[in-house]
Structure 1
Amino acid sequence: MQNTQWQNIQNGQLMYLEEFLTPDEADILYQTLMDTMPWRQESITLFGKTVAQPRLQVWFGDKAYQYSGLKLEANPMPDLIQKLCDQCSRTAGQLFNSVLINLYRDGYDSMGWHQDNEPELGDAPVIASISLGAERKFALKHNNGQDKLAYQLKHGSLLIMAGDMQHYWKHALPKSRKVHHPRINLTFRHIK
């Protein structure tokens, strides 16, 4: 595993580990999740309209999670995912107790600009995200409208957002016509 160095940015901290999992570990995890997860396409409320999310997802954790009018009920983590959760907790220096797993079926599935700042995540949420499958661009922009960052999230990588990131920065997984293969990401968090 790479050196775990935090990158200090305006109003936050980031850590990106390109090879958090070995290629074999990433391949096995990707295929296991594709084959065994009870994927669902949920609907959310945006600007007063109910729409189907452009991705599939699964929620595991000891508490429910709510965002954009959607409530995800508590479900115990399978052993495989609990081991990853523990590994991410050690790397981030933050105890995680839940995970939102997203399946982006191709480049047309996406995640719009948002902040993970729901009250149940606490004052300074730490979010750890493992990427599997197709490489995708992950974009960040500061609320000041000027500072922007982007990462090409590779198969088996880990990105951690910490500090005040969720108050001052928005992030997104933009659509891409060039991506024709699925991507899975596991976003670990601590629900209070």
Structure 2
Amino acid sequence: MSKSEQKSSQISLDLCHPQIHANTNLLPQDGTVNYYGKIFDEITANYYLERLLATIAWQHDQAIIFGKTITTKRKVAWYGDQAFEYTYSNTQKYALAWTAELLELKAIIEQKTGESFNSCLLNLYHTGAEGMAWHSDGETDLKKNGAIASLSFGAERKFSFKHKQSKEKVEIFLAHGSLLVMKDVTQTYWLHRLAPTKKVFTARVNLTFRTIVE
């Protein structure tokens, strides 16, 4: 293990099942992340998971890496107030019109957070074998330093942050029906990922409500 890896592991913070107030900032510096915990009871969370699996226009995601088009096992969907054009991983996507359930969830999230959003990127991870590599949501289409509200349904998965300079880590397990919000300069200074795991065999749906600027 290198010196940098040793440093990272020594200061890693593991928040497995935190009893954390929504106003608590999980990041030690350079950004703000608030975890609201479960904002839906089990029955309601199960209802929304079933509706999202059945009604969202899921498609396999694609990314262009070194000139080659890569198709992921993970599925995605993109919705918004209008047919926003959104570019990431060198691919372009256009937002679909909101579904009834997405509008319901958007209203709930906006009431909880005091923020407003005009779009939502959804990810469907069929099992723990599917994840997301280290990245920041820093696309030019997004409102700079705007809030991103991450709503999770289904399998509980570990979500990790890593500071771009210090390599300090913060890790939290996102529960079924839970809400996490990233804002301020978080995307400038921190990477985040959903690590694959062999311990999860059921699906997870993640919704990230965002603000697109034209």
Which TM-score band (shorter chain)?
Answer: over 0.9
Structure 1 stretches of 5 or more lacking a match?
none
Once residues 129 and 68 of structure 2 are traced to their aligned partners in structure 1, the CA distance between those partners, rounded to angstroms, is 20
Matching residue of 2:71: 52
Tell me if the contact between 2:119 and 2:212 (Cα under 8 Å) persists in the aligned partners: yes
Quote the offset at 1:88 in angstroms: 1.3
Matching residue of 2:57: 38
Matching residue of 1:9: 28
Secondary structure of the residue that 1:18 maps to in structure 2? strand
Counterpart selection for 2:193 from 126, 149, 172: 172
Q: Normalising by structure 2, report the TM-score.
A: 0.84
Once residues 145 and 32 of structure 1 are traced to their aligned partners in structure 2, the CA distance between those partners, rounded to angstroms, is 41
Across the aligned residues of Structure 1 and Structure 2, the Cα RMSD in angstroms comes to: 1.5
Residue deviations 1:1-57 (CA, integer Å, cap 9, x gap): x95314153111111111111111100000111122221002111243321124101
Structure 2 stretches of 5 or more lacking a match?
1-19
Once residues 19 and 93 of structure 1 are traced to their aligned partners in structure 2, the CA distance between those partners, rounded to angstroms, is 17
Tell me if the contact between 2:109 and 2:149 (Cα under 8 Å) persists in the aligned partners: yes
Secondary structure of the residue that 1:121 maps to in structure 2? coil
Which structure is larger by alpha-carbon Rg, 1 or 2? 2
Residue type at the aligned position of 1:186: L
> Does 104-113 or 60-69 show the bigger shift?
60-69
Matching residue of 2:130: 109
CA 1:25–1:110 in 2, change beyond 3 Å: closer, same or farther?
same
Secondary structure of the residue that 2:166 maps to in structure 1? coil
Matches within 5 A, 1:23-172: 23-61=42-80, 62=82, 63-172=84-193
Tell me if the contact between 1:125 and 1:166 (Cα under 8 Å) persists in the aligned partners: no
Once residues 187 and 124 of structure 1 are traced to their aligned partners in structure 2, the CA distance between those partners, rounded to angstroms, is 15
Tell me the matched-pair count: 191
Secondary structure of the residue that 2:191 maps to in structure 1? strand
